[in-house]
Amino acid sequence: ENEAFENILYILDDISAIPELQWDYRMPFSGFAKYLREEQIKNYALILDKEGEKAMGKPVGIYVTMESRKEIQKESALKEAVCQELREILGKRKIQSVLVAGVGNRQITSDSLGPETIDRLIVTRHLYDDGQKKGISAIAPGVMGQTGMEAQEVLYGIVSATKPDCVLVVDALMAREADRLCTTVQITDTGITPGAGIGNKRAVLNEETLGVPVFAVGVPTVVASQTIIRDCVESALKKMA
């Protein structure tokens, strides 16, 4: 009970009034990113409509970013916060069965988040009677270099056969800032494009390609060397100013 209470305190400590910002799409979204940095906003939800889709080049949907180094030290608190976000997004739909897809290369540590998640998942689909669309099923489809198939092709076949209500994709991401490495969790209801962060785009995983709603959870586990150099230079310039 003491541990549970302590976890609640960690979460409540970060809770404050949630401000809403109606961003003018005529202004570049680089300005929005600058606004987040200046206000030191780490946890936010970005909801794009049709106008925002054209301005930002991303599909209409919900984009949630959660970052908290303090909660990283309290793993259970971070888990609860992420689970709460997933409950809110998934709860808007009548979902009884979920296919969890752990995308990535198990042989590469920084890309193994998806497969490692599947290894730790408790599947329940087989516990229900035949014909019932309930429970959790899971698959790590591998990468094209291992299977000769796109993850989208593998998942489409499984979705067609098992007919889950939705697919939840877990994947490693490329960090745009070094300090976001392994400290940020990103959630969206628009799907994901595996390999996009490193310039190796594979087939898109979304509702259009798989036939069911696709949600994605990603954690930045890779950062480019030029990003580290840029961050170091910016930090040095700030100290000199």
**What is the predicted pLDDT for the residue at 194?**
78
Pairwise CA distance, residues 113 & 102, whole Å: 7
Beta carbons of 121 and 114 less than 8 angstroms apart = no
* Global pTM value: 0.73
Pairwise CA distance, residues 207 & 201, whole Å: 18
For 19, the 3-state DSSP assignment is coil
Q: Give the tens place of pLDDT for each residue, 73-99.
A: 556 667 777 888 888 888 878 888 999
Q: Which residue has the higher pLDDT, 164 or 38?
A: 164
Pairwise CA distance, residues 84 & 81, whole Å: 5
CA atoms within 13 A on the CB side of 123: 11
